[in-house]
Structure 1
């Protein structure tokens, strides 16, 4: 009995002591000035992160009833910690004193999980967080912390459910990227569905497209997108109906722009946006601004659900907008985005994408961007996009592969309706006003026809490319007989090749293989061209007298050059240019006019429409340092023989050609005299050799003084029935042209070929081409058989 009584007293004392201790602890916690612990906390955290850390305001600990707990757990209070004016220091080289500042932080901790070494925090509230991010040119940055390593794994685990904050600020200064930006982030207040964001961004991007390519261009782009969406709607709908892919299907349907019915459960499971942001500053010395939305802060930790992002950013004159999702955003596993692009020139995408694209007119595109990030790079595809470039449409898919030593850009592009003038900026052939609009120096001299704008060969070395482009229908000047275009662009290690560059011309084709080696300075170029089956009447579609002409033009050219612009390449070119016409007819009026047979022209104009047969025609130019000298230029018909000599100078863009007509048959009232073509490419002059004409006129006047009938003698053209040796001439012309290596001149011709000499007439002794060889198959093809 005494033992029991003693045991009861001991137990009572233990309970009493425990109650006193608890009471004392509660009183201590409630009354203790926790600011006394700040030096200890500051020191420990500073040692852990390797940076100065300080709580400069009040540090408090309070108790609150738990929210959402039921039963007896609802009676266990949770501690609530709060701290004010927190700072995290920067390295001594940083411009700003603090890496991060925070006006206040407060959070509650669940008590019972502490017994299992679990720190469970339902939510952290941040007030006015501010972060400064800096990187120097040498690569040092202030966001890499030297965290002190622990002796072993910690027994404690942290579980954070939510982060809430009022307006935050992020500053980013990067000397490597030449970036200086400021971002403001804030909570949206309530979740925003991805479908609503998609709809709003689509409308904003369509309005932006109208500002760049015009309302009509934006309307046509919208129709292109609608047609593409209709084509993919069926497949998207079937994907959305699969139970296993409800969430992903709803996102894919929104990204692709297809109108697909989505179930209520899919809408609830679709990702939502929780944070909004705005951005301003400069990037690569270019003004930058933008806004967007992302998912909740802690949503980035969920690798099983797509993380939503939206951005609408303007960099200089380029605007980029995206809406979609990122899988595992911490590690950037994959992206699935709807992408809109607008800008003055596609070349302006280079500074912030690293993708080398040509100069273009103003453009706007819409498409689907998907990609997979990998440790050694990644693959990204802008698939089934549609766009407007100037007045042309553009459709296709492009794939970007991040690989070593250079990334690779591949794609297939199609333009169903191509404005020929939209190709001019690619080689700098657009107007000075157009150059100024796309940011290029308007340095094209008013008197020069060949573009002087230099190629950006430094960018060619940073990416490889393999792109095929087809222009199915070309809209151009009525006098330009071009119908379609195809080219295969291959760029590797700084060398650019267009093999082939093919135009449909006058019912035939003009095929060129162009190789530009930009890995050297200056650029080295080689060009080979073949003209096949060009119809005479289609070459001059606006000339009525040529519409009855028959026959085909076939030709070849081989040139090499050095220089960094089209003008300098032309000025340094060396090689040969050849052309043939066989088995054709041409208007007699043209032939009579060429010989200035005045009476015959008048008679033909009034009464005659007979065409004359072309026996043969040949042109052979040798090109030396940009100067084209005619070795052979002859046209033989049933009525006349015409020769030409002189040169075309690509350096100063001038012409100095003399045309010598030789009449076949008897002509009365002929002022037959040599013609000339002189002047510049932009201001050519065609006329009659005044000296020869004056001699004939003076002879007419002198004989007229002796006998009026004798005055007709100088106007009478005797017959010159000697035809060209067509077979020999054509055999010689069928030899393929040749070109020396870039930077070298053509070899000196080895004499005068008899056929060329006879073709040019006794008055014109032109040097002939070197010995020429051609296979029978190639000869048959050249002749157009």
Structure 2
């Protein structure tokens, strides 16, 4: 090779080496510069950008570091976002360490994709002020969600606090996410504190946190917990966990009284015994629906649909409920005979009428359209058959149209109106008694040959009061019960008249039924006192007439039954039967003063006149038949 050509090659090779060395040096210097670069210089810029975006002060109190690669990593420490100005808590969010991996290829598409986010010990406070404003509403917030993508989010030892002073709610959730990328329920939360002032403990598991950003995508959710004495569990999906919107879960609920759901869910339900219910719970916008639920309340089964529409003020409840086996004691909360905790509310002293006031806040908390059918009623004493009710509540006015109770083969048909717009509550009731069978109403009398009559009647009452006792204690109106036909034990009739001679004959020859011409009780109510207008039992043997009153204010009986013979008896003491005393312990006894006085007179006459002394004890049977036609005509009005 010529010398000049060889020299040219050497010079070119030397230049290449110099450029290579220079390039390596430049890259090394650049790498060193980047490695040694003080990334904290960017902290003020980032703080301003976040502050402008949120309208809140943002601080990066720790170091900022960047690790360059195809997916650069940004690592920041001790981040703090200020809270809303109205809050007494200065910080809304803090993060001990935040690591973000950026997908550079997404920048060419005009988007920012964060391939991976890790947050260590994040603390987030979500709260409402007393006017209902949330601290998550930022003054300068812009929705750039369409330009931001996140691949995976990992939270370690996170804490979320929910604070709402208006509802006495202060909850703290401890959050963790699973490190398994494909875990079906990667998020777990343990929640404790107070909800609506009640001690609360809840365990939740859910899907990936990032899926919460897509409100069209149902978020899987599973949880169980207890609020006060109320226990619940849920398994399903939700589209907005914070508002529980788009909820669709299999739901179970249990507690000591349905009344305790009022402070939790603002549902104005009556006091009940222990209950267990389960069904399908759905929530969308302002609608809450518990569909096809089944369960038990006390000793009764209960099922149906329960729907709540909170778009109205007050809320509107539509319910269709049914029970195949209804223990009537489980409905005692409707009349104030149970406490809100489900315990029996015993009246004070020797009273029996429920004295617990109705909860006016509940009566005014909702408009209601409720239908209920109890197919079979179980009681200890009364022969109830079934129950059908249609209850309407409109602006604190309650109507039962109607309330039909099957009893003793007949019906008690009630139309009841209560107006809770005023205090005390004003109530009006119209009751029809239709074809009650005496033998079923008093089965113990069937054993004594009183088993064939059918009872009917009516009542029209009005009163004022915030409890059943107060309403009845102020009642005005009238009531009539009547029975045409039937039969009663001859022995009972003789005993009612203290007819010793004929009673002995019945005991010797056997008891037989005596036909009843009619039986009527016609009473007028004034300020809680029922006064007898007409009370009689007319048979072929006797006419029994009643007098007196029943005081519902003091819960006292003061009745007297007087029997007149229609046939002759050699030893009729004719002592009236007195029914006296409190409702709780009434006394039924003969008035021996009149009977004893008459017997003493006969003893004196007997000592003087021999057989003539028996005349005062002879009943010659001069009693008239009761005017049943007229009384029954009035009862049928």
Alignment TM-score, normalising by the size of structure 1: 0.75
User: What is the CA deviation profile of residues 414-461 of structure 1, one whole-angstrom value per residue up to 9, with x for unaligned ones?
Assistant: 11111122122221225xxxx385378x56203111000011122222
DSSP 3-state at the match of 1:186: strand
Looking at structure 1, the residues matched to 440 and 243 of structure 2 have their Cα atoms a distance apart, in angstroms, of 60
Q: Partner residue of 1:474?
A: 377
User: What is the CA deviation profile of residues 618-651 of structure 1, one whole-angstrom value per residue up to 9, with x for unaligned ones?
Assistant: 2110100000001111121100111111100000
Report the more deviating stretch, 542-551 or 624-633: 542-551
Alpha-carbon shift at residue 580 of structure 1 (Å): 1.1
| 1:181 correspondence with 2:174 | no
| 1:293 correspondence with 2:205 | yes
In structure 2, the CA distance between the partners of 1:293 and 1:573, relative to structure 1 (3 Å rule), is same
Q: Partner residue of 1:118?
A: 111
In structure 2, the CA distance between the partners of 1:712 and 1:137, relative to structure 1 (3 Å rule), is same
Alpha-carbon shift at residue 321 of structure 1 (Å): 1.4
Looking at structure 1, the residues matched to 21 and 497 of structure 2 have their Cα atoms a distance apart, in angstroms, of 133
**8 Å contact from structure 2 (residues 55, 138) kept in 1:** yes
Residues 531-680 of structure 1: pairs in structure 2 closer than 5 A: 531-680=433-582
Looking at structure 2, the residues matched to 297 and 671 of structure 1 have their Cα atoms a distance apart, in angstroms, of 91
Residues 148-547 of structure 1: pairs in structure 2 closer than 5 A: 157-190=147-180, 272-303=184-215, 305-327=217-239, 334-373=246-285, 377=286, 379-430=287-338, 435=339, 437-438=341-342, 444-477=347-380, 479-547=381-449
Which blocks of at least 5 consecutive residues in structure 1 are unaligned? 1-8, 65-76, 194-271, 736-785
Greater helix proportion: 1
User: What is the CA deviation profile of residues 335-381 of structure 1, one whole-angstrom value per residue up to 9, with x for unaligned ones?
Assistant: 221010101111111112122111111100111112432xxx3x332
Report the more deviating stretch, 553-562 or 310-319: 310-319
**8 Å contact from structure 1 (residues 536, 546) kept in 2:** no
| 1:133 correspondence with 2:126 | yes
Alpha-carbon shift at residue 410 of structure 1 (Å): 1.4
Q: CA RMSD in A?
A: 2.8
1:725 alignment partner, one of 618, 627, 631: 627
User: What is the CA deviation profile of residues 383-429 of structure 1, one whole-angstrom value per residue up to 9, with x for unaligned ones?
Assistant: 11111110111111122223323322112211111112212222122
**8 Å contact from structure 1 (residues 309, 324) kept in 2:** yes
Looking at structure 2, the residues matched to 527 and 141 of structure 1 have their Cα atoms a distance apart, in angstroms, of 48
Alpha-carbon shift at residue 327 of structure 1 (Å): 4.1
Looking at structure 2, the residues matched to 157 and 285 of structure 1 have their Cα atoms a distance apart, in angstroms, of 41
**8 Å contact from structure 1 (residues 191, 273) kept in 2:** no
User: What is the CA deviation profile of residues 667-701 of structure 1, one whole-angstrom value per residue up to 9, with x for unaligned ones?
Assistant: 11111122211101001111122331232122123
**8 Å contact from structure 2 (residues 77, 95) kept in 1:** yes
In structure 2, the CA distance between the partners of 1:53 and 1:305, relative to structure 1 (3 Å rule), is closer
Q: Partner residue of 2:79?
A: 86
In structure 2, the CA distance between the partners of 1:142 and 1:403, relative to structure 1 (3 Å rule), is closer
**8 Å contact from structure 1 (residues 555, 578) kept in 2:** yes
**8 Å contact from structure 2 (residues 249, 281) kept in 1:** yes
Alpha-carbon shift at residue 285 of structure 1 (Å): 1.8
Looking at structure 1, the residues matched to 279 and 367 of structure 2 have their Cα atoms a distance apart, in angstroms, of 23
User: What is the CA deviation profile of residues 602-627 of structure 1, one whole-angstrom value per residue up to 9, with x for unaligned ones?
Assistant: 22123133211111222110100000
Looking at structure 1, the residues matched to 529 and 245 of structure 2 have their Cα atoms a distance apart, in angstroms, of 58
DSSP 3-state at the match of 2:630: helix
In structure 2, the CA distance between the partners of 1:156 and 1:615, relative to structure 1 (3 Å rule), is closer
Alpha-carbon shift at residue 596 of structure 1 (Å): 1.0
Which blocks of at least 5 consecutive residues in structure 2 are unaligned? 1-13
In structure 2, the CA distance between the partners of 1:182 and 1:361, relative to structure 1 (3 Å rule), is same
Alpha-carbon shift at residue 155 of structure 1 (Å): 13
**8 Å contact from structure 1 (residues 418, 473) kept in 2:** yes
**8 Å contact from structure 2 (residues 271, 341) kept in 1:** no
DSSP 3-state at the match of 1:298: helix
In structure 2, the CA distance between the partners of 1:171 and 1:303, relative to structure 1 (3 Å rule), is closer
User: What is the CA deviation profile of residues 96-120 of structure 1, one whole-angstrom value per residue up to 9, with x for unaligned ones?
Assistant: 3311111100122122333443322
DSSP 3-state at the match of 2:167: coil
Looking at structure 2, the residues matched to 721 and 175 of structure 1 have their Cα atoms a distance apart, in angstroms, of 78
DSSP 3-state at the match of 1:41: helix
Report the more deviating stretch, 297-306 or 588-597: 297-306
Paired residue total: 626
Greater strand proportion: 2
Looking at structure 1, the residues matched to 487 and 454 of structure 2 have their Cα atoms a distance apart, in angstroms, of 10
User: What is the CA deviation profile of residues 456-485 of structure 1, one whole-angstrom value per residue up to 9, with x for unaligned ones?
Assistant: 1222222111111111112211x3121211
Alignment TM-score, normalising by the size of structure 2: 0.92
